[in-house]
Amino acid sequence: MILDLFKKKDPYATFWKWFESNESYFHNNFETNKELLFDNLSLKLKEIDENLTFEISNNPEQKRELIISADGIADSFDNVISLCDAAPPLRDWVVIPFRPRMDSKGIKVNMGEDSLGYNDVYFTYQNRGHYIDLEVYIRFEEDNRHHYVNMYFILLDSLIGEYDAVSKIGNTEFFNLNNVNSPELMNFTELIRIVDAVR
């Protein structure tokens, strides 16, 4: 039998072999050596896909959650799914694909002196097959528009989850709520019901 010496290693298996060898250290030293852990984990994920990123939960007394994210980039979704599917059973960690929905309705995102929460965002929508097009209304100063757009997308991931935010939301247009007076606008949290109805 001729061995293929040039056969590529499975990048997902390689990642998990490395992670397994470090899982206890990462779990027990996350708070005290956070920068080293983040740098190493980020480097290893980017060897698979430049867009992959992660989040880690702060629960040292139990299993920590390792959330693998495509950072909202649809082209990298397959790598997130394949990597998480390849995860072995881990003693100290729970592996979660994509940023999940957050239960809290009181989430606020801060950027500099600006902040945005669920109750600050309103919308109208139009169904377009498997997608929903949104008109989003936020109260902002024009000079800081980009801050509010960035904070909105972070809130969107926390409200409906990263996967649905990319796979079910189509075009999004932004409008200044200072210039609008319409009773037809819906509160941001109502988007959950609308997104869940999309198949």
pLDDT tens-digit profile of 38-71?
999 999 999 999 999 999 988 767 889 999 999 9
Let me know whether 85 and 119 are in one domain.
no
Let me know whether 16 and 40 are in one domain.
yes
Q: Would you give the DSSP letter of residue 66?
A: E
The answer to the question of residue 20 being in a domain is yes
Let me know whether 93 and 112 are in one domain.
no
Q: Which residue has the higher pLDDT, 6 or 30?
A: 30
Q: Which residues of 162-196 are buried (b: 16+ CB within 10 A; e: fewer)?
A: bbbbbebbeebeebebeeeeeeebeebeebeebbe
The answer to the question of residue 92 being in a domain is yes
Amino acid type, 194 = I
Let me know whether 80 and 131 are in one domain.
no
Let me know whether 153 and 189 are in one domain.
yes
Q: Looking at the predicted structure, is the pLDDT value of residue 1 above 50?
A: no
What's the pLDDT at 129? 86
The answer to the question of residue 132 being in a domain is yes
Final residue belonging to a domain, choices 97, 120, 140: 97
Let me know whether 84 and 135 are in one domain.
no
Let me know whether 87 and 135 are in one domain.
no
pLDDT (mean) for 148-152: 94
* Paired strand residues for 169: 132
The answer to the question of residue 4 being in a domain is no
Whole-Å CA distances, 89 to 8, 59, 81, 93, 153 = 24, 19, 16, 8, 32
Final residue belonging to a domain, choices 97, 122, 155: 97
Let me know whether 48 and 73 are in one domain.
yes
What is the span of the domain harbouring residue 88? 11-97
Q: Looking at the predicted structure, is the pLDDT value of residue 149 above 80?
A: yes
Question: β-pairing, 169-176 with 131-138?
Answer: parallel
Q: Looking at the predicted structure, is the pLDDT value of residue 83 above 70?
A: yes
Domain tally, the chain: 2
The model carries a pTM of 0.82
Let me know whether 30 and 75 are in one domain.
yes
Q: How confident is the model at residue 4 (pLDDT cuts 50, 70, 90)?
A: low
* Paired strand residues for 94: 65
What's the pLDDT at 136? 96
Q: Looking at the predicted structure, is the pLDDT value of residue 139 above 80?
A: yes
Let me know whether 92 and 150 are in one domain.
no
Torsion sign (Cα): 36, 37, 43, 46? negative
Let me know whether 192 and 112 are in one domain.
yes
The answer to the question of residue 3 being in a domain is no
Q: How confident is the model at residue 8 (pLDDT cuts 50, 70, 90)?
A: low
Let me know whether 120 and 92 are in one domain.
no
Final residue belonging to a domain, choices 97, 121, 141: 97
CB of 64 closer than 8 Å to CB of 57: yes
